[in-house]
Amino acid sequence: MKAVARLVLLSCLLCTTAAQAQYLNMLATTPVSQFNEADNKLFMAAIDKALAESADGVALAWKNERTPAAGVVTPQKSYVSDGMKCRDLLIANSYKTLKGEAVHTFCQTSGGKWRLRQ
C-alpha cells in the first residue's frame, strides 16, 4: 500500500486548480510531509493493523523511536458501501511541533486489499 499522504495528494490533483494549490500548500506543512521511509512504514503498518484488527473506537498508536514521528489511528465506523466493506479511520499524526488530523475512508476490494476511497 502506498503512503496515505501520496494517495491524498493524488486525489487532490483531481480538484480544481485554486483548490489544488491551496491543498498542496497545506500538505507541505503536515507531519506526513516530514516522514522518512521508516516513519511511513510504521504509519502504514498501523493503518493496515487498524483496518484488519481494531474494533471501532479502539485507538492504535505508533511511534518511531529514532525520529519525532508518531501517530494514532482510530477506526470510527465500519459499514458496507457499494457492496464493499468500508471503514472510516481517524488518523492523527505528529512530527516535532507539526500536528495533523483527518478522517479517511478505506474500502476493501474483492481481492481483500484495503484502498483509500476517493
Model confidence over 40-54: pLDDT tens digits? 999 999 999 999 999
Question: What single-letter amino acid sits at 46?
Answer: A
Element containing residue 91 per DSSP (H, E) = strand 84-95
User: What local confidence, expressed as pLDDT, does residue 27 receive?
Assistant: 58
pLDDT per residue as tens digits for the range 62-116: 999 999 999 999 999 999 999 999 999 999 999 999 999 999 999 999 999 999 9
Report the distance separating Cα 81 and Cα 83, nearest Å.
5
Sheet containing 60-63: give its strands across: 60-63, 69-81, 84-95, 98-108, 114-116
Does 1 score more than 70 pLDDT? no
Q: Which residues contact 46 (CB under 8 A, 6 or more apart)?
A: 60, 61, 62, 71, 73
Confidence class for position 10, pLDDT limits 50, 70, 90:
very low
User: What local confidence, expressed as pLDDT, does residue 115 receive?
Assistant: 92
DSSP alpha helix (H) spans, 1-118: 4-12, 17-27, 37-53
Cell of 89: 479511520
Specify whether the CB–CB gap between 73 and 44 falls below 8 A. Answer: no
